[in-house]
Amino acid sequence: MTKIRLTRLFTFEAAHALQGYDGPCRNIHGHSYKLQVTIIGLPIINDEHPKNGMVLDFGDLKQLVQETILDVVDHALLLRADSDSDLVEALRKLNHKLLLTPYQPTCENMLIDFKTRLRKVMPGSVALHSLKL
């Protein structure tokens, strides 16, 4: 049977700073990110099944990505966990949505993080094929 890849595009807004970077991106700045999620699997072949013909309902994929990634990063500020503690404390006092990452928040590292998070919640019948940011 033929395995099928399904791709869905998501967008989110986030700010970050690249600590120690030799350019303007060491300052806190923001992006409108586009995240492409591709899964792979076999379509359900069962006329009695409500998801007949689907690898995964697009709605279910949307909910998975929403809960696992977008709820975490959308309108958040991503800073390295070892950022200046006064800054972190001040942002917390202001109730800012802060994601302290154990990594430099580059696209590459964010993708590794997203992959880890998504793999944990993929239904058994499908696999995460690829991510693009």
Residues that bind ligand LPXRUNBV (CB under 6 A): 18, 25, 106-108
109-132 residues labelled b (16+ CB within 10 A) or e (exposed): ebeebbeeebeeebeeebebeebe
* Beta strand pairing call for 4-16 and 76-80: parallel
Nearer to ligand LPXRUNBV, 25 or 91 (CB): 25
* C-alpha–C-alpha distance, residues 19 and 79, integer Å: 8
Nearer to ligand LPXRUNBV, 28 or 40 (CB): 28
**Binding positions for Zn ion, 18-57, rule CB under 5 A:** 25
Q: How many CB atoms lie within 10 A of CB 68?
A: 17
Nearer to Zn ion, 64 or 110 (CB): 110
Interface size with Zn ion, residues (CB under 5 A): 1
Question: What does 108 interact with, of Zn ion, ligand LPXRUNBV, none (CB < 5 to 8 A by kind)?
Answer: ligand LPXRUNBV
Q: How many CA atoms lie within 13 A of 33 on its CB side?
A: 28
Among 63, 36, 45, smallest CA distance to 128 is for 36
Which distant-in-sequence residues (6+ apart) come within 8 Å of 121 by Cβ? 64, 67, 68
Instruction: Output the smallest distance, CB 37 to ligand LPXRUNBV, in A.
Output: 18
Nearer to ligand LPXRUNBV, 71 or 108 (CB): 108
Question: What does 82 interact with, of Zn ion, ligand LPXRUNBV, none (CB < 5 to 8 A by kind)?
Answer: none
Binding site for Zn ion (CB under 5 A): 25
